[in-house]
Amino acid sequence: MPRLFTGLEISSQAGLMLSLLRGGLRGARWIDPENYHITLRFIGDVDDPTADEIADALARIRRDAVEIRIDGLGSFGNGKPHAVWARVEPNRALMELQGEQERILQRLRLPAERRKYIPHVTLARCRSATNQDVARWLSDHGGFQAPAFTAARFVLFSSRASVGGGPYLVEEAYPLSARGSVGGGFNADAFADHDFG
């Protein structure tokens, strides 16, 4: 039973720059740089037939390539931080791609995502870091920016339960158009047989 999510890969240059931020935060479990990504939609554990349906439905998406700008750092966690991340600037192409995936997955009877979508790259999970530890780390690394890059595809990833986040495996990759959006309707009748994995 695969655990699935969709996402965008980041450029090698951005990955290298993000990897230089590792360290200096007590109680952090740092994500391996080869596992950096921008999650579009966490799907979760599904059976193989559902995974096939998801893979086929995502193949119907026709969207523009997405310009990615990583600018700034932040943390998640109310009261106790549980992750630090690099902020991805929202833009229309990114938000429309994420929104279309959300609609497709709901049409496949998967539960709606209740949390507001905040595009980001997770850098570390916080085990025992305090709010003060995280605030200090964020202050020490303030003003982080990486050069913009274009995401020319989105990916259906699978993951296995692990301590450090990853490894994430590319199950399917879907091109994004460099010529401009050509729509992106979802047609359940257009499913073809798909060998997942």
Strands laid side by side in the 153-159 sheet: 38-45, 3-8, 153-159, 168-175
CB 124 within 8 A of CB 36: no
Six-digit token string for 129 = 């870091």
Q: Does 37 participate in catalysis according to the annotation?
A: yes
The residue annotated as part of the active site, out of 82, 120, 141, 194, is 120
Q: Does 82 participate in catalysis according to the annotation?
A: no
DSSP states of the chain as a string? --EEEEEE---HHHHHHHHTT-S--TTEEEPPGGG--EEEEEEEE--HHHHHHHHHHHTT---B-EEE-EEEEEEE-SSS--EEEEEE---HHHHHHHHHHHHHHHHTTPPPP-SPP--EEEEEEESS--HHHHHHHHHHTTT-B---EEE-EEEEEEE---SSS--EEEEEEEE-BSS--------GGG-------
- Please give the positions annotated as active site: 37, 120
